[in-house]
Amino acid sequence: MFSVQFNAGPSRDAIRRALAQLANPVPMFEEIGEYMLEATRQRFIRGEAPDGSAWAPKRPSTLERYKRLGYGNRTRPLIGAGQRLSREIVRNATRSGVTIGSALIYSGVMQDGAARGAFGTDRRGRPLPWGTIPARVWLGISAADDAAIVDIADEYLAGALDGAD
């Protein structure tokens, strides 16, 4: 019988360094979160979903309402009067992963869409929302994002395996 025990030398040290890196993955998740924040912000600039499909354009009724309310001519999808959704994307990195999203109450509606009247009616009996809102997927991971996340994880562990600090 033949056996090998990793209890001495460079192999043991490399394994210990890799385990130490994995014991605290928060820095890696923070970097992934920063990458995804920027990737998501770029989707707002391009007006596209993670799969590369274009977001549905704003309806003429929405554009007319914006003009009537003094919001100007904001024609790009998901860019409203305060541009809050594109500016209030947050990330939270913990030892178990990273979460990307928005606390804005309407962020889920923008992601998934909503039928006219899906939320009932207002005090005057008008439907909420007043028109159908198409889904405009703004949150997700594209194929390029997926590859970048793997690269970030590889780089995070490479320093430990190469003996770098």
**The pLDDT of residue 145:** 96
Give every CB contact of residue 129 below 8 A, 6+ residues apart in sequence: 109, 114, 116, 117, 118, 119
In angstroms, rounded to a whole number, what is the distance separating the alpha carbons of residues 115 and 64? Answer: 20
Would you place residue 2 in the very low, low, confident or very high pLDDT band (cuts 50, 70, 90)?
Answer: low
- For the chain, give every domain's residue range: 9-162
pLDDT tens for residues 101-134?
Answer: 999 988 999 999 999 999 999 999 999 998 899 9
pLDDT tens for residues 37-48?
Answer: 999 999 999 999
Residue 7 has pLDDT above 90, yes or no: no
**The pLDDT of residue 55:** 95
Average predicted confidence (pLDDT) for the chain: 87
The DSSP 8-state label assigned to residue 42 in this structure reads H
Q: What percent of the chain has pLDDT over 90?
A: 59
The more confidently predicted of residues 124 and 2 is 124
How much is the pTM?
Answer: 0.80
In angstroms, rounded to a whole number, what is the distance separating the alpha carbons of residues 74 and 5? Answer: 66
Residue 53 phi/psi, 5-degree rounding, is -75, 145
Contact indicator for 90, 101 with CB cutoff of 8 Å: yes
Q: What percent of the chain has pLDDT over 70?
A: 90
Residue 80 has pLDDT above 90, yes or no: no
Whether omega for the bond prior to residue 129 falls within 30 degrees of 0, making it cis, is yes
In DSSP terms, which residues pair with 165 in a beta bridge? none
**The pLDDT of residue 138:** 94
**The pLDDT of residue 165:** 47
Residue keyed to tokens 């707002």: 44
Contact indicator for 34, 42 with CB cutoff of 8 Å: no
